Amino acid sequence: MTQLIRVEDLRVVAGDEGSEVEIVKGVSFSLEKGEVLALIGESGSGKTTIALALLGYARRGCRLSGGVVQVGEHDMLALSEKQLQGLRGNRVSYIAQSAAAAFNPAKKLIDQVVEGALIHGLGTRAELQAKAIGLFRDLALPNPERIGRRYPHQVSGGQLQRVMAAMALISDPLLVVLDEPTTALDVTTQIDVLRAFKRVVRERGATAVYVSHDLAVVAQMADQIVVLNGGQILEQSATAPLLKTPAHEYTRSLLAAARPDTTIRPPSGIAEDVPLLTISGLTAGYGNKNMQGMPAIRVLEDIDLTVRRGQAIGVIGESGSGKSTLARVVAGLLTPAIGGLTFDGQPLGGSLSERTPEQFRRIQMVFQNADTALNPMHSVATILSRPLKMYFGLKGAALQARIGELLDLVRLPRTLAERRPNELSGGQKQRVNLARALAAKPDLILCDEVTSALDTVVGAAILELLRDLRQQLGVSYLFISHDISTVRALCDDIVVMYSGHKVQAGSRQSFAEPPFHPYTDLLIHSVPELRQGWLESCGTTCATLPPIGERANVPELCTFLNRCPVRVDGLCNRTAPNRRTLDNGGEILCHHDSAQLLNTQQGVTTMTLGAYA
């Protein structure tokens, strides 16, 4: 083995000259050729700053102030900008977190994949296009010969992430930096992307640095792990011993935060047996409506749901399942085509104009991305004052006192009141986002993926805050997520959505062990475990089946038909499933009963048509 990467006493400072603050403090590590090293830590730990230093790059307002960064024979801190430009995208490549932001929407994928290699003179266009197609095939992209002709918006998020990996690998770089490449993906899509990344990295002998906040993810990829906090290395070890016996308390906290359902429990005895929100026969979508009033694109179909006062219901499913559309309907941002809503015993209009001011106040929404939900030009105090003035007419000392109370409620120091969102951390911004919703004193809060953009430690803290607020205020939640662990940590009941349909519903306890709807089983077994080798043994791939999310060709049949590993020809492809009750009290939309599902989900037998004759 040959040492390929050497980082020694790396230091990075931020701020203006004379008032600089050191944000990376003497970090050192090395990699052998073909190894994968993970940099892990919560937001602000310095992991991305260190990863970018491997490209000889520092973000605006930062400066590489000292140390050695050796990549092969190149000292990245001693090179000129022109020399660095010759290495970036050539000998050192970077895979960003957001593939959507990394591509030009006006250019075809194949042109963007080969562009950097063409600039560096690594081959002719024809040679590089052939190489790109080979990478598409290695990365398990569908129709590798043709997918490059598409534009970025014409492929899924997981596919675009793999195309970006092809862009990074086409130059056969000495080092590949992967910066949170699966954080924005659903758990089901994440598995496919991780498998593709791991196979290509191993087969091509690539050396890689993988940046993440999730130990369960890096456990599948990394040979060694560096744990960072505050710009310093707290622990460094091979992956297996670090997962088994972490030496530092901070590493142990990361391990605990990786699975919040093992450390956080929803409060008991809070929910009352009184319906707060009732949804009946709901169908909704987008586009022009036909003569029957049905939208051109149906996103939700025949949804029934009841949220009791003080109850937390989790809604899970991958992107495109309809869960965020359900929240938009409840919030009055999308008018349903069919069906009705009732709130606290009164009809709830489908649009905001049909609702009373009191109904508007009592249903609030907390959005996924606080960066776009909070006005960057306003201070925290101004953001919180708007609902207080609108709903309660507060002003003067009473207004300032209530702003202070709201900051106390979400556990933020009152000194943050005059700061703007860009001066806050991701977790602080999400707490302000929540405080704004609480300012209206709502009865129901719609939480749309409120922890998915946060690291595991901060996300776990937000979940604990939501649990405590529910205990303190008796507020109800409709909590939307794609992560079963997050939902089980907070909610009393869980609803599973697939392609606009409610395919399973039941208590949190009913989701603790089989039987499950086949799609629920897929979701649960797509959450990475904290052990090496899980990715190879999880068994959730159905390579011969269409991509997850693709609906059955016949809309009247089960929407999961094309993906279902236990579908029965002659039954599932001819007859629409009915809702049936499982032995654990849960409800599923499926032809199979508890015993039949248990047989497959516990690995006892394989389902055949004869079992249903």
How many helices and strands (H and E) does the chain possess?
21, 22
The alpha carbon of residue 187 and the mean position of all alpha carbons in its chain are separated, in whole angstroms, by 8
Q: What pLDDT sits at residue 320? A: 80
Looking at the chain, the whole-number percentage of residues with pLDDT higher than 90 is 66
Whether residue 560 sits in one domain with residue 486: no
Domain assignment present for 434: yes
101 and 36 share a domain?
Answer: yes
- Shared domain for 363 and 423, answered yes or no, is yes
Cα–Cα dist 125/123, whole Å? 7
Is 294 a domain residue? no
pLDDT tens digit sequence for 556-607: 788 898 888 888 888 998 999 999 999 999 999 999 998 889 888 875 433 3
**What pLDDT shows up at residue 607?**
39
DSSP E strand boundaries for 221-311: 224-229, 232-238, 275-289, 295-308
The total of other beta-carbon atoms located within 10 Å of residue 543's CB is 6
This prediction has a pTM of 0.85
Among 243, 263, 278, give the residue marking a domain's end. 243
Which residue in the block uniquely carries the two structure tokens 């085509």? 337
Residue 485 and residue 509 in one domain? no
- In sequence order, which residues have a C-beta less than 8 Å from that of residue 308 and are 6 or more positions away? 271, 272, 273, 274, 275, 276, 476
* Other Cβ atoms closer than 10 A to 225: 27
Task: Name the residue type at position 195.
Answer: R
Q: Are residues 481 and 512 in the same domain?
A: no
pLDDT at position 540: 56
Domain that holds residue 369: 309-491
Per the domain annotation, does 272 fall within a domain? no
444 and 314 belong to one structural domain: yes
Per-residue model confidence (pLDDT) at position 521: 92
Answer yes or no: is pLDDT of 453 > 90.
no
- Within a domain: 283: no
Q: Are residues 577 and 440 in the same domain?
A: no
Overall number of domains in the chain: 3
Q: Are residues 145 and 190 in the same domain?
A: yes
Residue 414 pLDDT more than 50?
A: yes
Secondary element (H or E) of residue 477: strand 476-481
CA distances from 117 to 34, 166, 200 (A): 22, 11, 18
Judge whether 290 lies within some domain.
Answer: no
Q: For residue 370, what pLDDT band results from cuts at 50, 70 and 90?
A: confident
> If you average pLDDT over every residue of the chain, what do you get?
90
One domain for residues 453 and 501: no
Residues in the chain: 613
**What's the pLDDT score for residue 539?**
63
Q: Are 122 and 114 in contact (CB under 8 A)?
A: no
User: Is residue 390 in some structural domain?
Assistant: yes
- How many alpha carbons lie under 13 Å from residue 584 in its C-beta half-sphere? 21
Nearest partner of 497 among 184, 343, 351, 282, judged by Cα: 282
Q: Which of 471, 491, 511 is the last residue of a domain?
A: 491
For the cut 50, the answer to whether the pLDDT of residue 103 exceeds it is yes
- The confidence score (pLDDT) of residue 605 equals 37
Among 330-334, 489-493, 572-576, 599-603, whose mean pLDDT is lowest? 599-603
Res. 332 pLDDT band, cuts 50 70 90 = very high
With bands split at pLDDT 50, 70 and 90, how would you rate the model's confidence at 351? Answer: very high
Is the pLDDT reported for residue 195 higher than 60?
yes
pLDDT tens digits, one per residue of 419-446 = 999 888 888 999 999 999 999 999 999 9
pLDDT in tens, 29-42: 999 999 999 999 98
Domain match, 142 and 7 both = yes
Structural domain includes residue 298: no
In a domain? residue 281: no
Rounded CA-CA distance 449/369 in Å is: 8
pLDDT of residue 267: 85
Residues 435 and 500 in one domain: no
**What pLDDT shows up at residue 525?**
87
Give the CATH number for residue 187: 3.40.50.300
pLDDT of 434: 96
> Which of 243, 260, 275 corresponds to the end of one domain?
243
Same domain? For 109 and 136 the reply is yes
pLDDT value of residue 554: 58
What tens digit of pLDDT does each residue of 85-102 get? 999 999 999 998 878 788
Residue 609 has pLDDT above 70, yes or no: no
Query: What percentage of the chain has pLDDT greater than the value 70?
Result: 95
Give the pLDDT of residue 40.
95
Q: Which helix (H) or strand (E) holds 370?
A: helix 370-373
Per the DSSP assignment, residues forming a β-bridge with 64 are 12
